[in-house]
Amino acid sequence: MKKRTLGNSGLEVSALGLGCMGLSFGYGPATEKQDAIRLIRAAFERGVTFFDTAEAYGPYTNEEVVGEALKPFRNKVVIATKFGFRNGKPTEGVDSRPENIRAVAEASLKRLHVDTIDLFYQHRVDPNVPIEEVAGTVKELIQEGKVKHFGLSEAGAATIRRAHAVLPVTALQSEYSLWWREPEESILPTLEELGIGFVPFSPLGKGFLTGKINEDTSFDKSDFRNTVPRFSEENRKANQGLVDVITTIATEKQATPAQIALAWLLAQKPWIVPIPGTTKLHRLEENLGGAEINLSEADSTNIAQALAGIDVQGGRYPGEMQKHIDR
C-alpha cells in the first residue's frame, strides 16, 4: 500500500484508511466483536495503517473494538477518533466545551489502549463554543502529550481558518465522493492553501457507488440510510444513472465501480486519503484494489464530464442531522 502525508503535518498514513464506524453503528446490527477484530487486523495485514473511529460510534463500543484489534500493532498504525457530541450521542446534540473535550480524550485513551491519540477530530462544529476555544483546548492536550494532531469534521472554510490560526489543523474529515462534490467549491482550495489534509468519509456514497444498491434494495430497520432522503426508493431510482456511468467506466478499466470511485478521489489531490468502511473481507480487498488503479488527469476529467449532466436527487442527511453541518 502506497503512503500519503496529510497536508503539511508530516503525518504519514496509507493511501486508503479504514472507516470502522459501520462495524458497530449506523448500518444495521453491530458486527460480532471477534469478526470485527479479524477484519481490522486483515486490513492492517494488507497495508492499511490509518483507522478511523469515534466515541459516538456505539457509543463507545467501536473505540473498544478498534483498540483491542490494533493493540499488537500500536506503533505501526495511526488511530483517529473524535469528540463533540453530548454523552457521545449525536441525537443529544453537540458539546465541545473544554471540560467535555478533556473528558472524551481521557476516556478514549483508555478504550483505545493508547498513551496518545494520533488524530483528534472535532466531530461537528459546536455553535455555542468558539472554535478558538476548541483549538486551544486541543493545543493543551497536545502539550500534555495526550494528543498528537488536531482535526475537524464537516467544518466550513471560515471555521477551518479560525481554528488553524490557533492550532495547525492536520486534517479535515468531510463527505466527498462522485455523488457529493460540494467540497470542491471552497473547502479543497482552503485546505490546499493552508496545507491541511483531507479525509473523505462515505467515499462510496454510503454504498450506493458500489452498484450493489438499487430501488429494490431493503435495509435493516436499524440502518440509518432508511432516514436519508438520498436513499428513498424514488431517489435511488433517480440516481441510478450516476452508477450506470461509473459502471461503464469501470468495465473499460477492468475494475469495479467502487474501485473507480476510490481511484477518482485519490487522483484529485496527493493529500486526500479516503476511508471506505466495510464489514466484509472481500469488500475490503476490493476497496484496497482501488489504490492500485492510476487514473490519468484525462481519465479523471472524462469521468467528471460524464457525470456533469447528472443531478443527484435527495439530501445527504435527514433534517435534524443537517443542522450540525457548518457552513
- Vertex 207 angle, CA 186 and 13, to 5°: 60
pLDDT score, position 304: 84
Measured CA to CA, the distance from residue 179 to residue 176 in angstroms comes to 8
Please indicate, yes or no, whether the overall pTM of this predicted structure exceeds 0.85. Answer: yes
The alpha-helical segments, DSSP class H, found in the chain are: 33-45, 61-70, 98-112, 131-143, 157-166, 187-194, 233-238, 240-252, 257-268, 281-289, 297-307, 319-322
pLDDT score, position 308: 84
Residue 219 class from Cβ within 10 Å (0-12 exposed, 13-18 middle, 19+ buried)?
A: middle
Contact call for residues 24 and 58 (beta carbons, < 8 A) = yes
Contact call for residues 4 and 10 (beta carbons, < 8 A) = no
Given CA atoms 110, 111, 112, 116 in this order, what sign does their dihedral have? negative
Give the residues of the chain that fall short of pLDDT 50: none
Q: Which residue has the cell 486519503?
A: 273
Measured CA to CA, the distance from residue 119 to residue 216 in angstroms comes to 39
Active site residues: 57
Count other C-beta atoms under 10 Å from residue 34's C-beta: 11
pLDDT score, position 318: 83
Q: What are phi and psi of 126, to 5 degrees?
A: -100, 110
Residue 39 to residues 18, 69, 157: CA-CA distances in angstroms? 10, 9, 35
Task: Walk across the sheet containing 117-122 and list its strands.
Answer: 18-19, 50-52, 78-83, 117-122, 147-153, 169-175, 197-201
Measured CA to CA, the distance from residue 38 to residue 19 in angstroms comes to 15
Report strand pairing: 117-122 vs 197-201.
unpaired
pLDDT score, position 226: 94
pLDDT score, position 323: 64
What domains appear along the chain, each with residue ranges and CATH number? 3-205+268-293 (3.20.20.100)
The three grid cell numbers given for residue 184, joined into one nine-digit string: 470542491
